[in-house]
Amino acid sequence: MLLSLFNKLFHRSFDAKANWIKRFASFPGDWRAVGDVRLTEQQYRQANDQKKQILSDTLLRFVPQPAKKHLLDGGCGHGDFSDHFRQMGFRVTGIDFMEDAIRTARQRYPQCEFALSDLADLKLPHRFDAIATIDTLINVVDETLWRKSLQSMADHLAPQGFLVIMERLRQPDETFDLPPHVVFRTPDDYRRSFTEIGLTVIHHERFFVQAQNLSEDILVIQPAL
């Protein structure tokens, strides 16, 4: 109770970018730079493999022919998921607001494009057929920046495009004592905010990530018809 009150107050002044830069520098070249530090490397890889499978299955339902379609990976970290989307056939642009992450991603995955950018203030020269953001919006703890991020992604989505959000959501009655860089939102938080900006949540599924021993959610959103 006290911890969540402290977190609510602290979230307002929390410098998310500085926190990420420090974290990335603490684990140079290491998966923990962006992954859940409580996991072993093997658990991290197993969790990512499962998430990639679910992302593929879901994306292919809505974008059955990814070849030549352009996908934006928002908050790409070191680009592991960006490269998965490329292997699915998408042309991929990954963005992150950490310079070190973008440098690492470019070195590891030269077949993808990467750009330094803040999700809340995207200024990319085109719209995307698909936008995916994985375990990233849970780290946009500031409500104003979170809404700006949703708007910014909406502004970069093609009229027939799909936005896919994969992260842990919470049920309205669930409470968690989370560290200051993490916030779990409810499906209704997303539904309401997307409706306000002219998009609709068309798919929601919860799945259990065995290797992480927790549930995550996947949402698919599209411009309202």
Residues that bind ligand SAM (CB under 6 A): 16, 20, 34, 75-77, 80-81, 96-98, 101, 118-120, 134-136, 139-140
Tell me how far, at minimum, the Cβ of 121 lies from ligand SAM, in Å. Answer: 8
The least distance separating ligand SAM from the CB of residue 77, rounded to whole angstroms, comes to 3
Residue 145 vs residues 6, 12, 13: alpha-carbon distances, Å: 20, 11, 12
Q: Which is nearer to ligand SAM, 99 or 200 (CB)?
A: 99
Nearer to ligand SAM, 81 or 90 (CB): 81
The nearest distance, CB 173 to ligand SAM, in angstroms, is: 26
Closer to ligand SAM by Cβ: residue 136 or 212: 136
CB of residue 223 to ligand SAM, shortest distance in Å: 22
Q: How far is the CB of 20 from ligand SAM (least distance, A)?
A: 4
- Encode the chain in three state secondary structure: CHHHHHHHHHHHHCCHHHHHHHHHHHCCCCHHHCCCCCCCHHHHHHHHHHHHHHHHHHHHHHCCCCCCCEEEEECCCCCHHHHHHHHHCCEEEEEECCHHHHHHHHHHCCCCEEEECCHHHCCCCCCEEEEEEECCHHHCCCHHHHHHHHHHHHHCEEEEEEEEEEECECCCCCCCCCCCCCCCECHHHHHHHHHHCCEEEEEEEEEEEHHHCEEEEEEEEEECC
Beta carbon nearer to ligand SAM, 92 or 134: 134
Nearer to ligand SAM (CB atom), residue 121 or residue 160: 121
